[in-house]
Amino acid sequence: MPTALITGITGQDGHHLTKFLLSKGYEVAGLVNGQRNSREDSFSHLFPDVSLVQGDLTDFSSLLQIVHDIQPDEIYNLGAISFVGLSFKQPELTANVTGLGALRLLEAVRKAGGEKSIRFYQASSSEMFGKVRETPQNELTPFHPRSPYGVAKTFAHYTCVNYREAYDMHISSGILFNHEGEYRGHEFVTRKITSNVARIKLGLQARFSLGDLTPQRDWGYAGDYVEAMWMMLQQDSPGDYVCATGISHTVLDLVEYTFSKLDLDWKSHVTQDPKFLRPEELDHLKGDPSRLKSETGWNPDYTFETMLDEMIDYWLSYYSGK
């Protein structure tokens, strides 16, 4: 039975990846910082057989001990300050957790991994492309991050490349474009829209506010993307892979589809508020997943529309008490 260690296990991708790895027969352990919260409690309720170990991406000694004790076959580094808007307000914390956290974990693997060849997955991000040089973006597209989050992810990404080349470690990075699902945090726009529309449909509220509706993103389903993470680590040789659908939509497309799905007119329920605008916005992210598909055989099951259907149905059920 292989063992996997997941950082950021209580987040959206951690939920989906845990479910996927358990279905593959893995023993799963997750890193938590020891500050018991509702997210950790709900995760333990869903996955009672998963071992949660206390540690922190900002504390090297804890990471060293955890890797030494668990000796995992695979590590998935999903832990990060992952909300881009927050990274502008807390740039130092973002750099420390999202950027240096990956460095600390890699050092822990190098020093405490022993004779075992631990395979390491790094959650890189399309936010690294930032002010894009070409569309669609692929593995050779230059990075130009436009947020502290994107800068921290770029540091972590290149640190992984360096450790892979310098120490011959099996490290793969998935440059994941936006991916969503029923476990998405409340601060993300897909969760905000789908949950609020469900509440409006059920008569629980009348309106909500959004920022810019023009940015274009390549949105996929998180359940598909965690399978891609696993497939990357099953390759004989490590590498970097863009994980995306290859199709982009605007935030307005997302709004229009979600409201029309529930027979509502979005213009009667949505206002725009400048406080939700980023200091630096990304215009058009669209990924080219050709390498991932050709080398691993990955292909997403969900479309933009079926991903949103999944989220809408989840929130309708949640708010109606079913």
74 is catalytic: no
225 is catalytic: no
E strand or H helix at 90: none
Residue of 127, 182, 227, 310 marked catalytic: 127
**Could you tell me the sign of the dihedral formed by the alpha carbons of 106, 108, 110, 115, in that order?**
negative
280 is catalytic: no
Residue of 149, 163, 183, 314 marked catalytic: 149
Query: What is each CA distance from 188 to 107, 112, 259, 291, in whole angstroms?
Result: 32, 36, 17, 28
Residue of 62, 82, 87, 125 marked catalytic: 125
- Best CA proximity match to 160, nearest among 149, 175, 177, 145: 175
Q: Tokens for 116?
A: 């075992």
Q: Tell me how crowded residue 236 is: count the other CB atoms within 10 A of its CB.
A: 5
The answer to whether 241 touches 172, Cβ cutoff 8 Å, is yes
Helix axes 12-23, 38-46, angle to 10 degrees: 20
Active-site residue list: 125, 127, 149
